[in-house]
Amino acid sequence: MKVSLAIMVAAGLAAGAAAAAVTAAANPPVDFDSEEEERSRLWERVLDPSVEDYAGRVARARDLIAKHDRSALEEAERELTEAIRAQPDHPAAPFLLGRVHAAYALRDTSREDRAESVAQQWSACAEQMGRAFELEPGYLPPGEEVSAVDLEYAQCAAAGGAYEAAEERLKRILSRGETDSVKVHILLGEVYMALGRLEESIDAFQRALKLRAPYDPEVNFALAVAYDRDEQVALSREHLEAALKREPRFNSLWAEGKVYSPIADENYYLGLAYLGREEYPWALYHFRRYLDMAGSTPWAVRARAHLGTARDYRVSAHLQVKGTATIDREKAAQVVSKADAALQRCVKATPLLLMEVRITRYVGVSGAELEEKIRRGGEKPGAKVVLHRSHGHSTDEVKQARDCIQEAAEGLKLPAPTGTDGSFATVEFLVIAR
């Protein structure tokens, strides 16, 4: 294990301090200035009440932030705003206000309709923490580790688009000899990739992988994306397959608290993962969403190339049969294929809409017996259209597409299911504009 000189020195100082503390406990020194210091603090509060008010607001805000509750965060934001107004030259309040913005961003990260707001919150986090460091270079909240604070600020800066500031802060961590943090290397790799420096990005991800050797899905996915953007297709495929082998449903890409820099990259990662699993409708959605969010990006060409691959599918190829009865899948696929053109007309005007059709058929039951079965929690017979994803489309547009798909699905003449009386089979398939 690598131990820095600074740590050894600190340990030595700590040991000396502990010994001194024992001696001091036995023979407590007389503080001749204590009365004068207390009088000084008293007069400071009397002459400038805002000092005490500031400290109180900061303390309350710190407690509120720890609750992770939306209303508590809003109250903390109000307290800190007032604290800054009272004492604009103190760093504690703006630093904590940065944490409030980061907490807002993390709460809304999973909500697609809040993507723009999330980016703004990360940017505000970086701005407020940066203000604290301007007021007091090297500012460190009481009782916190310098590297943890540096990483926290770097995450805000990277997710908020301030890549150079994030790079500088991450390099500061590494310059202290703290090179064993996987998070630092991953974030640095993302920052380099955002800056278009793919070779350095790959190097950073490789260093992260060595720390989690021989494989780690999160890092393998990152390397798959970096190599893909560098058009090193074989290496991208190698790392994508390694990641999917260990995480078939790519849990690390959905993990709570997972932050992408830039945030649009989440859709590129997911698009590539779904492409690796040959789940083309989902890949189509995520690469379209990436292009919609990313704007002008050097990776647009690769994203469009993947869209071309994902478009080359037929709805019947991804048809699934579930339930307690069976249906001839090949015949069902042929029926659905004949309706493909009609289904595509339903979603032609809504490219960021992903629907699923579920058609259920029962064997040997009907009437009151079937109603009783449904009452007890059984699947309802007939066609059902489920909305999976929609972005940028109005409620009326979604309804129109859903009604159109519903009508087409109800007209499908699927083969009859086979099985025991009361068993059922459900045919499922996804619909998205190609």
338 vs 380: CA distance, rounded Å: 25
Low-confidence winner among 141-155, 319-333, 366-380, 400-414 (lowest mean pLDDT):
366-380
pLDDT grade for 50, boundaries at 50, 70 and 90: low
Three-class DSSP category at 329: helix
Residues 95-147: tens digit of each pLDDT: 999 999 999 999 887 666 667 789 999 999 999 999 999 999 999 999 999 99
Q: Is the pLDDT of residue 333 over 60?
A: yes
Where are the chain's structural domains?
51-136, 208-311, 315-431
417 vs 325: CA distance, rounded Å: 6
DSSP string spanning 224-261?
A: HHHHHHTT-HHHHHHHHHHHHHH-TT-HHHH-TT---S
192 vs 168: CA distance, rounded Å: 11
Q: Is the pLDDT of residue 215 over 60?
A: yes
Q: Is the pLDDT of residue 256 over 90?
A: no
CATH classification code of 208-311: 1.25.40
